[in-house]
Amino acid sequence: MNAIILAAGMGKRLKELTYNNAKCMIQVSGTTLIERLLRQIDKQDVHKITIVIGYKGQALRDYISSLSIQTPIEYIENQIYDKTNNIYSLSLAKDVLCEDDTLLFESDIIFEDSIIKALIEDTRPTLALVDKYEAWMNGTCVKTDKNDNIVAFVPGKEILFSEADSYYKTVNIYKFSKQFSQEYYVPALEAYEAANGENEYYEQVLRVLTETGNTEMKAKRLRGHLWYEIDDIQDLDIASSLFERDAIKRYTLLEQRNGGYWRYPKLLDFNGAGKSYFPSARMIDEMKFSFNKLMTQTPSGSDTIRLLFSKCFNVRQEYIAACSCENAFFLSLSASLKGRNGFIADELEICNAPCFEGQIRFSPSEEGAYNVDSIIQFFKQNRVDNIILSNPQRHLGGFINRENVLTLLKWCDCNGIVLVIDESFIDFADEGGHSLLHNDILEAYNNLIIYKNISVSCGISGAGMSVVFSKELSSHLKRDVVGFHVHSFSEFFLQIFEKYKEDYQKALMMFKAERARMSDELSKIQGICVFPSQSDIIVIDVKKTNSRQFAAKLLNDYNIFVGITETGSFIRIAVRTAEDNDKLLTAIKETLSQ
């Protein structure tokens, strides 16, 4: 068996990274793509490797010669690499295709070692490596029948997203039998190139063969294997974290992204906001129906948005300010609050904003427990002008019921202290009715500011929608926060939310039941302490090991991403669906048993 690597392209989309290097010379986790690929091939029973070079070809030769690869390497030069595409590069190597069975690679693909081994060991002679289509993928897809026959090649520009579930993405790694190359592929390649020119893609030839009834090529489906195609600097950034060899560093790279994890193949994200089982399918369908208008039309101004919030929460419009992101609120809040700030928090996100550095924190006990008396006593001894409370807290399970929050509010009012309450997760509390979000309370207490991140509480984290309630909004809040616009999708969500309030309540009940089940199952695992939760996440203490090492192992071995609390002491787990949660439970049990 031979191997062919197509490495003539210029990699223009990688910009300055390929100004002086071939595309396959970029590094991922300290190793160039071409070195990684050559060493993977070198471990297999391959007679020779043929590399089609072009851009920066001599420099690539010189580099490869320094790698001490044992398999013989030959080069074919594409001298017109800047005027042709990969169909021409492969046509230059057509004699190699006809010599023996051949593995065909593009040099901008990175993949785990098991993939090439599985391809070689598969007894079927001619295979296209494919993976279930996902949103991050670009380029040619295929459709298959139940016998793994490829029934259609679909170029990227012809993909119908309404049919996405039926697609498999080509990984751009193939195995051609000698017979397939001699009798089918090479003759078709020559004919196609003669008719359509040299600036085409070799997969177009496979498409023609499929359309004319040649079904010798089978699809080899990947099942959870790791691979990535690197076309631009964003791809390189993602691949660098996917294929980082050091487990701790890989976890840290992912952690630093703070979101956008849909770009990661088959990653189960337990680090972000929990799944509230909302919006409902029908609500999503209604939003999809209006997608074109929402994408292209300008949202309303702040007065209209405040009116929508007023309708949704039954709070007077004059008590409301809306903002598009919580950071905007944090910055405005820090500018409007005068004097010293106190925080009732273990790791409250507000107090971790840079604008609140160096402030006073009331910290719960190690078990996360606290009460209003202990809070009041603390701030009697540590005088502040403003107190900021997250209720419930997301990390160590702290929660104060409505009666006790009112006691704290009254004490603050008597002592000239502004009380800011983040109620983003109040709906997740086991028992309802704890919110202070009522006109009569806002009317009675000028010192009260209530904040809600609607995006996380309603299961629409990507919407970027927050709201502030206060009778006496400071000049900063009025000027800064009200000036922000939510986008059209958020506005439409608010517009139709009232129709789906019953669905929202049902979703909350389902979520709470699943959180209780998840907490119970976690508590049965030896070596784990589970903190009580009234929010969208569960915090656990893994007694047997370091939290970061444990989280890194879950990511490395199971592609499961859990969070770590700020102190690094505990693991934080967002509650997802029962199916996903069971996968995590299994992974935790297996990891602790090793």
- Among 250, 251, 4, 242, CA closest to 112: 242
Burial of 410 (0-12, 13-18, 19+ CB in 10 A): middle
Task: Flag the least confident range among 25-39, 88-102, 194-208, 465-479.
Answer: 465-479
pLDDT at residue 323 above 80?
no
Query: Nearest Cα to 3, choosing from 88, 69, 82, 79?
Result: 69
Q: What is the pLDDT of residue 105?
A: 97
| pLDDT at 348 (0 to 100) | 47
More confident residue, 266 or 509: 509
Averaged pLDDT, 12-31: 90
pLDDT average, residue stretch 299-308: 86
Confidence of residue 485 (pLDDT cuts 50, 70, 90): low
Quote the pLDDT of residue 327: 63
Percentage of the residues of the chain whose pLDDT score is greater than 70: 91
Over residues 492-511, the mean pLDDT reads 94
Give dist(CA 451, CA 449) in Å, integer: 7
- pLDDT above 70: residue 324: no
Per residue in 43-98, pLDDT (tens digit) is 999 999 999 999 999 999 999 999 999 999 999 999 999 999 999 999 999 999 99
pLDDT at 329: 67
Looking at residue 461, its pLDDT comes to 82
Is the pLDDT higher at 228 or at 136? 228
Res. 486: pLDDT tops 80: no
Per-residue pLDDT of 348-372, as tens digits, reads 455 455 445 557 888 765 555 678 9
Backbone angles phi, psi at 427, to 5 degrees: -70, -15
pLDDT grade, residue 460 (50/70/90)? confident
- Asked whether the predicted pLDDT for residue 39 surpasses 70, the reply is yes
23-32 residues labelled b (16+ CB within 10 A) or e (exposed): bbbbebbeeb
Report which of residues 466 and 350 the model is more confident about. 466
Instruction: Output the pLDDT for position 322.
Output: 72
pLDDT of 276: 66
Task: Look at residue 351 in the predicted model and tell me its pLDDT.
Answer: 47
What is the layout of strands, in order, in the sheet containing 571-574?
Answer: 268-270, 560-564, 571-574, 537-542, 528-530
Query: Distance between terminal CA atoms of the chain?
Result: 39
CA triplet 564, 570, 571: central angle to 5 degrees? 55
* Helix (H) / strand (E) containing 548: helix 547-558
pLDDT of 104 over the 50 cut: yes
